[in-house]
């Protein structure tokens, strides 16, 4: 599908994409922006509209290959309101050739926000999330085994390429440079996840000013947190949850069931980092020194 969106479609389409990276606070930032009275978000935070067709995230009935009308249902609110900012946030877009070749050339010049996280932390968070919140990584696989499998490409992780490519995906600069070449500097912002942890109000006020929202709204905002990693109490029940939850229609009833499940079978008390995990994390930090130096030189990002 090579036809550009029509002027009528442009009116309801996002003018802000949070395009990276997974497990770097993108769900929370999406919600914070969408809560602004002059902004709204897609019905689902991640619509996957511009993902590559050979990934596990591909939705054949709602994808750019099917035309922009197949995306329309995600933007019911923006079609019936007047908003300065319409945000969609699929953090894997940073790695997507389809996103990279289509988003920059949209005629309304949308902006892209990329939030990056210290690579060893990001990989560790991704591991815990895919192992505990989902079933992409076997419960029996510890972090050291995961890193070895991702490095040697000896596990398919049930077809999840974000797990398969976890190490190379954390070399952020090489991905961001491709985006900058297409977007230019004015249409992209690269920020450090540490900025959110240290000063979430200052972070979101900076972003708000950049995208044309009044930053003063956030002076009294309560900053909810979204999509945090949890630990299931019963892994059999969690596997059932993963198997059926995508079949349920989203809405108030879904949210009530989700809240009930989390109350019954989840805990946010993530187990303490093991000594073995700490050794692997230290090794990873060393391995990414060169990639992080390039990121600092090109985008001014310095990890703690």
Q: List helix spans (H) across the chain.
A: 7-12, 26-34, 76-79, 97-102, 119-128, 143-152, 161-164, 166-169, 172-183, 193-198, 200-211, 235-244, 252-265, 275-287, 289-299
Say whether domain 7-119+170-223+289-299 belongs to CATH 3.40.50.1370. no
Q: How many CA atoms lie within 13 A of 231 on its CB side?
A: 7
Give the residue among 126, 63, 130, 50 at the shortest CA–CA distance from 89.
Answer: 50
Q: Could you read off the pLDDT of 88-132 as tens digits, one per residue? A: 999 999 999 999 999 999 999 999 999 999 999 999 999 999 999
| Residue ranges covered by each domain of the chain | 7-119+170-223+289-299
Q: Which residues pair with 111 in a beta bridge?
A: 16
| CA–CA distance, 46 with 88 (Å, rounded to integer) | 7
pLDDT digits (tens, 9 = 90+) for 27-61: 999 999 999 999 999 999 999 999 999 999 999 99
**φ/ψ of residue 249, rounded to 5:** -65, 140
Copy the structure tokens of residue 159: 């077809």
Q: What average pLDDT is seen over the chain?
A: 91
User: What pLDDT was estimated at residue 225?
Assistant: 80
d(CA 61, CA 58): 9
Q: Phi first, then psi: what are they for 269, rounded to 5°? A: -85, 85
């Amino acid at each position: 599908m090579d036809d550009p969106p029509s002027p009528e479609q442009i009116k309801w389409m996002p003018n802000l994409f949070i395009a990276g990276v997974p497990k770097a606070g993108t769900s929370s930032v999406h919600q914070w922006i969408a809560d602004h009275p002059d902004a709204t978000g897609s019905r689902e935070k991640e619509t996957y509209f511009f993902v590559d067709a050979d990934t596990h995230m591909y939705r054949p009935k709602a994808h750019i290959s099917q035309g922009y009308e197949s995306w329309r249902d995600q933007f019911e609110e923006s079609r019936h309101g007047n908003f300065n900012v319409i945000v969609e946030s699929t953090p894997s877009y940073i790695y997507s050739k389809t996103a990279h070749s289509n988003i920059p050339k949209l005629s309304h010049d949308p902006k892209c926000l990329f939030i990056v996280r210290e690579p060893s932390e990001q990989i560790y968070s991704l591991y815990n999330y895919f192992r505990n919140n989902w079933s992409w990584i076997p419960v029996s696989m510890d972090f050291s085994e995961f890193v070895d499998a991702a490095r040697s490409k000896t596990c398919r992780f049930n077809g999840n390429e974000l797990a398969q490519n976890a190490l190379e995906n954390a070399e952020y600069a090489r991905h961001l440079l491709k985006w900058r070449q297409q977007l230019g500097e004015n249409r992209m912002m690269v920020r450090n996840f540490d900025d959110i942890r240290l000063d979430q109000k200052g972070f979101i006020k900076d972003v708000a000013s950049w995208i044309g929202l009044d930053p003063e709204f956030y002076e009294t905002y309560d900053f909810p947190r979204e999509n945090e990693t949890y630990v299931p109490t019963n892994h059999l029940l969690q596997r059932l949850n993963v198997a059926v939850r995508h079949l349920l229609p989203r809405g108030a009833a879904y949210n009530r069931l989700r809240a009930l499940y989390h109350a019954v079978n989840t805990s946010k008390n993530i187990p303490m980092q093991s000594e073995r995990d700490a050794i692997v994390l230290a090794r990873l930090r060393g391995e990414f020194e060169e990639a992080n130096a390039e990121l600092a030189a090109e985008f001014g990002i310095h990890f703690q």
